[in-house]
């Protein structure tokens, strides 16, 4: 994808997070609630969250006893998480960093028990970039670690609408989204076993998503 377009996309997210302190609300996503249940059932404690945004899910994980490491490329979003973690006295179990996940993840091999990302994989990434990121997630997960991510799917009303940005990427209202079919998800199984793919809706639109659960083999 064109570098200028990626810079514009980053600026668009930063402007939205700066002007809307609770852009997605305070309540955790349905996906995070489901992921926490799976993590607890499997006795997973140290969790990596990618694309944490302003931290509605990050704080939920920390409040529910997980040791959470959160990454997002928005400086204002990460600042919000840090401030909220101090407000709720969660800073001992929560760490947030500004980071672009196109780079190698800043952790040693087999650092985490689990990984969670809500709609990060369907941001302005090519499928090659997503595969590289997913391989990095595999690297930093312990054997038997669980990777749970959500993506908007090709049944979504915004698919095939707006400005086409290559592959299955479309721009609407300044946001570029990569839409996934089940076949595309199956390109992300290197080093993982697929546990399940669940369809669900979110928001007033509604957004149509898949929740994908993988286990490192």
Question: Which CA distances in Å does 136 have to 15, 77, 78, 174?
Answer: 28, 23, 21, 28
pTM, rounded to two decimals? 0.95
Task: For 24-81, write each residue's pLDDT tens digit.
Answer: 767 999 999 999 999 999 999 999 999 999 999 999 999 999 999 999 999 999 999 9
Q: Describe the strand order of the beta sheet including 207-216 as a list of residue ranges.
A: 94-98, 67-72, 46-50, 112-118, 141-152, 207-216, 192-202
Rounded Cα gap, residues 29 and 19, in angstroms: 21
Domains of the chain: 3-19+28-216 (3.40.50.150)
Q: What percent of the chain has pLDDT over 90?
A: 87
* pLDDT tens across the length of the chain (217 residues): 788 888 888 898 889 887 887 767 679 999 999 999 999 999 999 999 999 999 999 999 999 999 999 999 999 999 999 999 999 999 899 999 999 999 999 999 999 999 999 999 999 999 999 999 999 999 999 999 999 999 999 999 999 999 999 999 999 999 999 999 999 999 999 999 999 999 999 998 899 999 999 999 9
Rounded Cα gap, residues 16 and 70, in angstroms: 19
Rounded Cα gap, residues 56 and 61, in angstroms: 9
């Amino acid at each position: 994808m064109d570098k200028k377009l990626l810079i514009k996309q980053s600026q668009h997210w930063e402007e939205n997070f700066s002007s809307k302190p609770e852009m997605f609300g305070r309540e955790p996503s349905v996906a995070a609630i489901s992921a926490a249940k799976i993590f607890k059932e499997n006795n997973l404690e140290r969790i990596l969250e990618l694309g944490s945004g302003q931290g509605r899910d990050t704080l939920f994980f920390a409040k529910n006893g997980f040791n959470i490491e959160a990454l997002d490329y928005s400086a204002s979003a990460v600042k919000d998480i840090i401030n909220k973690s101090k407000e709720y006295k969660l800073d001992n179990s929560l760490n947030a960093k500004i980071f672009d996940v196109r780079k190698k993840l800043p952790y040693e091999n087999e650092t985490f028990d689990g990984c969670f990302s809500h709609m990060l994989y369907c941001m302005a990434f090519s499928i090659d970039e997503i595969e590289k990121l997913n391989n990095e997630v595999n690297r930093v997960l312990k054997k038997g670690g669980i990777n749970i991510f959500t993506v908007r799917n090709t049944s979504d009303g915004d698919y095939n609408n707006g400005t086409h940005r290559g592959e299955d990427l479309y721009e609407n209202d300044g946001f570029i989204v990569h839409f996934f079919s089940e076949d595309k998800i199956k390109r992300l199984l290197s080093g993982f076993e697929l546990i399940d793919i669940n369809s669900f809706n979110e928001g007033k639109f509604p957004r149509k998503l898949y929740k994908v659960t993988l286990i490192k083999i």
